[in-house]
Chain A
Amino acid sequence: MKVTFPHLGSMYIFCKAIAEEAGIPYVLPPPTRDRTRELGEFHTNESVCLPLKIILGNFIEALEAGADTIVMVGSGPPCRLGLYDRTIKVILSDLGYDFRWLTIPGIFNWQAFLQNHDETRELRKELTPSNFLRFPRAVMIGWRKMRWCEHLEDQAARKRAVAQNPLEVERWLQSGLAALDQARSLPAISKVCRQALAGLAQIREHGRRPLKVMMVGEVYTVMEPTINMNIEQRLGHLGVEVKRSSYFSSHIRRGSRLDRGLLKERRQLMELAVPYLNYDVGAECNFSVAEMVLAKNMDYDGVVHVYPFSCMPETTAASVLSTATTELGIPVLSLPLDRKDMGLRLDTQIEAFVDIMQMKRSGDLH
């Protein structure tokens, strides 16, 4: 058995840690490249959204590299993401790959439990008692790594906007994440992360107050830099601090329904969208709207809304945001993302957006 999983930002660090610690053989899909994208585009319908294409590409490349068991997160309709696991499964079978499939349910309920039970029937036979015994520690290590990883990314986003040379931030972040990925114990994890934080802290700052934006939109697009064309970095290098709406850990915590506080927070957030949208469109649509209101309440300078071209819930959100921007007086940049060669156009739009926020704040471009 060789397990594999899709790329989603730095989630691979989490998945890899669990597999490694529990002694389960795994194959890390090669980093998302042009080839990944092309594979995905070739084997899907043209109008399918970008995340599906890229995840499919990840899986094909992982299967080519010797994986035989795919672990994928599931969620529910109405978004197509809810049918991702099923669609991808069918495409891969049609392509003639031999593999087993395991869905990690997006919400833990009876139905999910039964499906899980069914899917793991074969897999369980291949796991040794040692794998089971080591699993709790593996999850703990993985979880700790993920939380640190997100903290580092958060700090990097903050620092990028104020650093004299933002490229230094990228170097510290990359080396920090690489070291975190290698660390094998809790003390080692904290040590390498503290080093990376110290590295980030000593980078010289230019002293100007950065613009702050909230990045909202479809989960996968918000979290995966190869899909959102590194928008966090691009904005950061223009002196903008980006606060992400989606973190992998918060999705797990939400899905597990263990943290009551988080669920309550979520319900309150949803209330914010009501003046603009009082029907639950599904997926992250209502949250994108709610987070925009939140950004306004928290005095952010703007909102960047990213979503895959043809994404139904977020296209709906985009038209709501476009109306709300005048009412709330907070600039919004809506970016439907599709192809890779849009870099230049993206820069034009981001730069213009930064100019608008700058003008709004100081009445001057310089």
Chain B
Amino acid sequence: MESPPVNRTVPVHLGIDVGSVTTKMVLLAADSGEVLDHVYLRTSGDPIRSIRRVMNRLAEDERHFEVLAAATTGSGRTLAAKLIGTDLVKNEITTHTLAALTIAPDVQTIIEIGGQDSKIIIVRERMAIDFNMNTVCAAGTGSFLDQQAGRLGVKVEEMGDMALASQSPASISGRCTVFAETDMIHKQQIGVGRNDIVAGLCQSLVRNYLATVARGKQILAPVVFQGGVAANQGIVKEFEKQTGHPVKVFPYYGVAGAYGAAIYAAKARGERPPFQGFELLRRDFSVDSFTCRKCEEECTVLRLYREAKVISFWNDRCGRYSEAPKK
């Protein structure tokens, strides 16, 4: 009898971080924990499409990955978990901590600035003990930088170098995006150079972060900086100046949440439901929402469709839909 062709597969653990602005993926080798692949792409308001693109990349890889366990994180974590069929869903604060602890076991402070969120996580003796997240304002997050880059007509990626090139940063109010913008326009009008404005912006972003997000938290070295904004060297340098500590930016800083999720998946014990991520490439999925008026809670209930058939509900507080027996 002829034996079937040997189909060597690489066992992996997968972490997906669906953020408000970007979607990240990290693939870890199950045996060594080494990063085999990572992706960083814009969510562009369509998480299903971005997850599908991630799956496409996995499916097309010649190494034939076999996903042993997958975990999702980020603000789109619940949707992502439904789509790929996993029960491992972790908040981004914990996944960022896991990532930082894996890369730098002695870390004591984690700064994380992403698209809409900025966080500080205080770690002592390899355990997160305290954290804080920006509350009601997105001033000083990635999307703010993005917007201002657009307004100044520069690429957000260039802002770091521009800031470093500045000799005398302009003073810009960072408390509120609206005021910051007013300040910037004013500085432009009176003839301040673009580099100085960008440097001033970085300065005010860091000042705002330390005064609000990190308020009352004890920042101790080693400090690790993660999230998309860590790409900006101007901000890294500004953090070093204002905190007085060296700030470390490790490779994979931009995908740290997904990295942490993959580590979480690797650590999970017990039986996992089968990985369904590749279904996304074969069939059509869509999601919509409606407001339930059955009580004063008025939950926004989310509905996941597979080819025009509802397969899942969530976000209802009473379980009226999510707990209902499947037809």
A residues in contact (CB < 8 Å) with B? 30-34, 167, 170, 226, 230, 233, 309, 319, 322-323, 325-326, 331-332, 334, 336, 338-339, 344-345, 347-349, 351-353, 355-356, 359-360, 363, 365-366
Query: Closest 10 CB pairs between A and B?
Result: A352-B93, A322-B216, A31-B296, A351-B91, A167-B319, A355-B94, A348-B91, A33-B296, A352-B91, A359-B127
Smallest CB gap from B89: residue in A: A351
Cβ–Cβ contact A339 & B136, under 8 A: yes
A interface, over-half SS: helix
Residues of A within 8 A of B91 (CB): 347-349, 351-352, 355
Report the contact-size class of chain B (Cβ under 8 Å from the partner).
Answer: 20 to 34
Task: Give the distance in Å from the alpha carbon of A319 to the alpha carbon of B215 in the complex.
Answer: 8
Cβ–Cβ contact A336 & B128, under 8 A: no
B284-327 CB contacts (< 8 Å) to partner A: 295-296, 298, 317-319, 323
Smallest CB gap from A347: residue in B: B91
Residues of A within 8 A of B131 (CB): 349, 352-353, 356
Task: Give the distance in Å from the alpha carbon of A353 to the alpha carbon of B128 in the complex.
Answer: 9
Task: Give the distance in Å from the alpha carbon of A365 to the alpha carbon of B93 in the complex.
Answer: 13
B89-130 CB contacts (< 8 Å) to partner A: 90-94, 117, 127-130
Task: Give the distance in Å from the alpha carbon of A33 to the alpha carbon of B317 in the complex.
Answer: 15
* Residue with the greatest number of chain A CB neighbours at <10 A, chosen from B75, B218, B296: B296
Shortest distance from the beta carbon of A332 to any chain B beta carbon, whole Å: 7
Residues of B within 8 A of A347 (CB): 91
Interface segment, B9-17, B162-170, B262-270?
A: B262-270
Cβ–Cβ contact B128 & A359, under 8 A: yes
Task: Give the distance in Å from the alpha carbon of A355 to the alpha carbon of B260 in the complex.
Answer: 14
Residues of A within 8 A of B296 (CB): 30-33, 226
Smallest CB gap from B121: residue in A: A352
Cβ–Cβ contact A349 & B318, under 8 A: no
Smallest CB gap from A346: residue in B: B133
Residues of A within 8 A of B216 (CB): 319, 322-323
Task: Give the distance in Å from the alpha carbon of A359 to the alpha carbon of B94 in the complex.
Answer: 11
Residues of A within 8 A of B57 (CB): none
B135 at interface, CB cutoff 8 A: yes
Task: Give the distance in Å from the alpha carbon of A226 to the alpha carbon of B298 in the complex.
Answer: 11
Smallest CB gap from A33: residue in B: B296
Decide: A366 near B268, CB < 8 A? Known: A31-B296, A356-B129: yes
